[in-house]
Structure 1
Amino acid sequence: MDTQNYANHARIVKGFHGLLFFLLLAGLIGSIVNLVNAGKHDGSLYSASLILFLFVCASLLAYYSRVFALRAQDRAIRAEENLRHLALTGKLLDSRLRLSQIIALRFAPNEEFVELAHKAAEENLPSKEIKRQIKNWKADHHRV
């Protein structure tokens, strides 16, 4: 795997972010067309509406499975970074830091972490700016 940095740290899973999205969108559109045609041509309205219902359910399932995984990961990152700050300074992270800032700080090595966390809280830096200010990127290859 290439060295991770600001430019390439976003993780895209082609099967999930690309293929599954395309298949669900195509199926959803196709099921809507099927429902409209079934209503016009005296087709099986029940079957067509059931197919649409199933595609809506599958789309919601795909969306919420991703959101729930990210929320659980965000909680773990907040706890890990709070523990890291406590180990390095003897104090918890500044309560002014937003979750997005804490998540951005996870890429900072210990040598830069404390100073950058303080700066992020004081200047209310956006997460993109926090990531840009990291000099020696600490890769995170285990995120979902």
Structure 2
Amino acid sequence: MKTQNYSNHRKFYPPHHFVYLPILFILEGYGIYKIWDDAEHQLIWILFSLIIFLILYLAFMTRQHYALGLQNRLVKLEFRQRYFEIFNKRSDEVCEKLNFGQIAALRFAYDDEFKELLYKALNENISGDEIKKSIKNWRPDNDRI
């Protein structure tokens, strides 16, 4: 596996992203095309397109909602644990001042950079993307879905 950094930290699930979703998009495009091409069966093609769209929407939203919701919760818990290990203090007050993007970005920094970037996030309100771009020594998160 390649060393993780800012430019390659996003992850894809090939069966979902490169097989299932493209097939649904092709079917949706075909159904929309047939609505105008086959006037005799137009109602059937409208229904076909509507069903494919609903399957596509449901597949996307359900996968995103459950997986990312759970992961976001774990990222927050990981931040709290890490903060406690570094500073030997509870993180409740700090967590209230940071948004999720900042918390998520801080997990890519090793402890020495974590302190510095946390300070910047709290005092200069830098965004999660700015935090990621500021990391000199990237700490990979190979478990992110």
Which category of TM-score, normalised to the shorter sequence, fits these structures?
0.7 to 0.9
- Which amino acid is the alignment partner of residue 84 of structure 2? L
Question: Do residues 117 (structure 1) and 118 (structure 2) align?
Answer: yes
C-alpha RMSD of matched pairs (Å): 1.9
TM-score (norm 2): 0.84
Give the drift of 1:94. 4.2
The count of residues paired between Structure 1 and Structure 2 equals 141
Higher relative contact order (CA 8 A, sep 6+): 2
* Gap regions ≥5 residues in structure 1: none
What is the match of residue 87 of structure 1? 85
Partner deviation per Cα, 1:19-76 (whole Å, 9 max, x = no partner) = 33322211111112223344x2x2373x433322320121112211232111221121
Q: 2:140 & 2:6 partners in 1: Cα distance?
A: 10
Q: Which runs of 5+ in 2 are unaligned?
A: none
List per-residue Cα deviations over 1:72-98 (Å, max 9, x = no partner): 211210121122112221130342211
Q: Which runs of 4+ in 1 moved over 6 A?
A: none
Structure 1 segment 1-144 matched on structure 2, within 5 A: 1-38=1-38, 40=39, 42-43=40-41, 45=43, 47-68=44-65, 69-89=67-87, 90-92=89-91, 93-144=94-145
TM-score, normalised relative to structure 1:
0.84
Would you say the 8 A contact 1:94–1:118 is kept in 2? no
Give 3-state SS (helix, strand or coil) of 1:95's partner.
Answer: helix
Confirm or deny: 8 A CA contact 1:101 1:120 kept in the other structure: yes
Query: Retained in 2: the 8 A contact 1:37–1:43?
Result: no
Q: Which moved more, 1:50-59 or 1:17-26?
A: 17-26
Distance 1:119 1:57 in 2: 43
Identity of aligned residues (%): 33
